[in-house]
Amino acid sequence: MDLPAIQTNIWDAVIAIPIIISLTEIIKIFLKIPKFAVPSIALILGLTLSVGYSHRGDLAAGIFMGWFYGYAAVGSYASMKSNWLKLRGDRNRYIE
């Protein structure tokens, strides 16, 4: 079995992840989804963006990178939120 050729580039880190974070936030605002479903929404967006646009024609690479896109967006958002709350001094809502 040959593994898919996967190449990461500037698209992955600088464009795809912020797009997924932004779309997830827009969906949270307008659709009022529960907080526990947000990571699943980010994963679905990551898979959709990867399979449908960035790795079109290679389903295995699209699924593989889609997982990274979705979870990188979730991790980046959690990190930004934790740091923001810590800097603001809101110790009660700090995620440890």
pLDDT digits (tens, 9 = 90+) for 23-78: 999 999 999 889 899 999 999 999 999 899 887 888 888 888 889 999 999 998 88
Residue 36 burial by CB count (10 A; 0-12/13-18/19+): exposed, middle or buried?
A: exposed
d(CA 46, CA 17): 8
Sorted by where each begins, the domain ranges of the chain are: 34-96
Predicted model pTM = 0.76
Question: Does an H or E element contain 20, and which?
Answer: helix 17-31
- Tell me the residue ranges of DSSP E strands in 1-96: none
